[in-house]
Amino acid sequence: MERKQGIKPNDLYELKTVADPQLSPNGEELVYIETHIDKETDDYISNLFYMHLDEKKPLQWTFSQGKTSSPVWSPDGNQIAFVSSRDGQSQIYIISKHGGEARQVTFSKNGATNPVWSPCGKKLAFSTKIGQDETIHDRPDKEKKEKSMKPLIVDKMKYKSDSGGFLDVELITQIAVVDLEQNEVEQLTNKTYHCHLEAWSPDGKYISYIADVAEDTDFSFVNDVFLLELETKQSQNLTAGRGSFSQTSWSPNSRYLAYVGSEREYENATQAKLWLYDVEKETKVCLTEALDAPVGDFIVGDFLQGVVSPRVQWLNDSQSFYFQITDHGNTLIYFGNVSGEMYPALNDDEHVYGFSLNPRNDTALACISSPADPGDLYYVHLQTGKKERLTTVNKEFLATRELSCPEMMEFEGKDGWKVQGWIMKPVHFQEGKKYPTILEIHGGPHAMYGNTYFHEFQTLAEEGYVVIYVNPRGSHGYGQEFVNAVRGDYGGGDYEDLMAAIDFSLRSFEYIDQERLGVTGGSYGGFMTNWIVGHTDRFKAAVTQRSICNWISFYGVSDIGYYFTEWQILSDLEDIEKLWKHSPLKYVKHVKTPLLILHSEQDYRCPIEQGEQLFIALKKNGKETRFIRFPESNHELSRSGKTDFRIKRLEYIRDWFEKYLSPTKSPIQG
């Protein structure tokens, strides 16, 4: 019998993602988004799919060559509104469940997103950007005109973003509503600041939205929750500048508004909490104060597309609800109620990356991934934990592949803290042999490796590597003290946690070849890779990706540099010595490990000058290195960049480790 091969880099073209499930109001039907990559165009293609729970047969409803997103059922369950870029710009469409073509209902000049139905089903609220000299009635220019080159005039510190490039400060996000019967559009907000649409109250009285009203947004990191009273057009600020909040969700009786966020006691290391506003009593309370875990999904991966973070979802009693929690390598679904009762409802070793609740009977649709399963859609009973698989989008392909299943490990890090991690054996593992091993380090730093599919890990396991990945201090999922511990200590306790992972693994797993260790990571993981090779020579090869090497220059060139540096290093340009102390560039003379540098040309989060500095310093000091630059790519290259570049990136990593660790050439006998 011919043995199966493992996952190869170009298998990205074969794999599909299911995401953003939406259960119909009657609880009997569902829609979701399926995404694949077109081999010929190299584009990400996403479309709307439908299923009846009795028949369980997926039906494709849209056939666009663009991106489809944000499906939402009308209150009567007869129509679905969604966003499509089929004509080159995002606009909102409506399709009937009884058949027929989708109908475009917005024609906004700068596009429209985020459809929200009115309770009566006759109107749709949406988000759109409006310029200073534009109106809600302006339509897109049908003739595409080439933009003329002109100087960029910058007055604000927040003038660029990694995802959006250079920002058009004249465009302001506003909330509008379209009357579907009269085909008339009305602008609901006309502010000088961005208003981000959230949810329409079931009684029809209010629309919730998020905004930062500060005059100087360069130094403001507030997102307040507002209620817009539709009759008077007056807005009420519920959170009064106390923190950063979003994801509002109304109880069915419109009395309670749930929302997620924090008062930023530890800046961006603060765990997100669940809050509740009582409209009747005009009071608010934090419901998860005693729960030392962040609300939401903080698992990092490199495969899933189109994932949307689900809001709190209410049962019909207007007292109880379900929500996401990130905890110890898993993203779970929790039950809660307005009295503060909380407990896990779906609590397996897995990544629940989306769900849609049936408010009548505690059942839900759930998108679930695990290390050996890229993800599918399930029907789950939240009180019993019973699951029924509804989709098998990758079954045929995965039947031809062998995947490595990781083993969880826990060890003692610095100061006696418990650190969680996983170890993956090579595909086609043989007892008695020793294998080269790669330590993987996640970005963030406030993210979490967990029980989800990771394409890069599987490709390395196929090439004959052991893969180790852990959550050092600074990671989410292990309590507020743990996630905050990295701030002001980059390269300290986090470095010791990672070295403890290697020490523990060498003691525990005889198949690791201690003479053939490699290390890699991206963003914060790239910083740590740079730091590690400047402080130890135990690794024989390293790959640093989209990394930081110099906190002094990072302060001024990153889209988040001037505040992220202060939050994380607890220093600024008034203390150059501290910034330099935590900069891997300072220790470049100590590097003995061959280092491959991967960086994107349009990375505004960790700008490419960081890779340039590191490369030049290494070459100047006679170190073994190579610098690879990816054009027209940003910080998200490994997750959602050009597919051919994502594949080349994996091949560059594979070839660099092959050169110095030779996994497939001579696995040695133990």
Distance CA 512, CA 510 (A): 6
pLDDT of residue 143: 66
Distance CA 268, CA 245 (A): 12
93-99, Cβ contacts within 8 angstroms, sequence gap of 24 or more: 94/124, 94/180, 95/48, 95/61, 95/62, 97/29, 97/50
108, 523, 547, 571: which is the annotated catalytic residue? 523
Question: In percent, how much of the chain has pLDDT > 70?
Answer: 98
pLDDT of 407 higher than 80: yes
Q: Which CATH number fits domain 292-393: 3.40.640.10, 2.40.110.10, 3.40.50.300, 2.120.10.30?
A: 2.120.10.30
Reading the block at residue 54, the tokens are: 């009795």
Reading the block at residue 314, the tokens are: 């209410």
Whether 378 and 385 have beta carbons less than 8 Å apart is answered as no
pLDDT in tens, 478-524: 999 999 999 999 999 999 999 999 999 999 999 999 999 999 999 99
pLDDT of residue 145: 60
pLDDT in tens, 255-281: 999 999 999 999 999 999 999 999 999
36, 351, 476, 635: which is the annotated catalytic residue? 635
pLDDT of 290 higher than 80: yes
523: annotated active-site residue: yes
Distance CA 280, CA 318 (A): 13
Q: What is the CATH number of domain 398-663?
A: 3.40.50.1820
pLDDT of 669 higher than 50: no
pLDDT of 1 higher than 60: no
User: pTM higher than 0.85 for the full model?
Assistant: yes
Question: In percent, how much of the chain has pLDDT > 90?
Answer: 94
Distance CA 191, CA 653 (A): 48
Residue ranges per structural domain of the chain = 292-393, 398-663
pLDDT in tens, 349-375: 999 999 999 999 999 999 999 999 999
Report the 10 Å Cβ neighbour count for 578.
Answer: 15
Q: Which of 114-128, 136-150, 417-431 has the lowest mean pLDDT?
A: 136-150
pLDDT of residue 149: 84
First to last CA, the chain: 27
**Average confidence score pLDDT of the chain:** 96
Confidence grade of residue 433 (pLDDT, cut at 50, 70, 90): very high
pLDDT of residue 670: 37
pLDDT of 667 higher than 60: no
Residue 590's nearest CA partner among 551, 613, 617 is: 617
76-79, Cβ contacts within 8 angstroms, sequence gap of 24 or more: 76/25, 76/121, 77/24, 77/25, 77/26, 77/29, 79/121
3-class secondary-structure state, position 173: strand
Distance CA 292, CA 480 (A): 6
Whether 546 and 599 have beta carbons less than 8 Å apart is answered as yes
DSSP states of 541-585 as a string?
Answer: EEEEES----HHHHHHHSSSHHHHHHHHTS--TT-HHHHHHT-GG
pLDDT of residue 665: 45
pLDDT of 594 higher than 70: yes
DSSP states of 59-117 as a string?
Answer: EE----SS-EEEEEE-TTSSEEEEEE-TTSS-EEEEEETT----EE----TT-EEEEEE
pLDDT in tens, 296-330: 999 999 999 999 999 999 999 999 999 999 999 99
Report the 10 Å Cβ neighbour count for 362.
Answer: 17
pLDDT of residue 250: 98
635: annotated active-site residue: yes
pLDDT in tens, 62-76: 998 889 999 999 999
Whether 527 and 535 have beta carbons less than 8 Å apart is answered as no
pLDDT of residue 147: 67
Q: Are strands 512-522 and 466-470 parallel, antiparallel or unpaired?
A: unpaired
**72 backbone φψ class: left, alpha, beta (φ>0; ψ -120 to 50):** beta
Distance CA 160, CA 495 (A): 31
Distance CA 133, CA 499 (A): 57
Apex 647 CA angle, 641 and 649, nearest 5 = 80
How would you label 192-222 residue by residue, b for 16+ Cβ within 10 Å and e otherwise?
eebbbbbbbbbeeebbbbbbbbeeeeeeeeb
pLDDT of residue 64: 86
Q: Are strands 363-370 and 256-262 parallel, antiparallel or unpaired?
A: unpaired
Mean pLDDT of 402-417: 95
Distance CA 209, CA 193 (A): 12
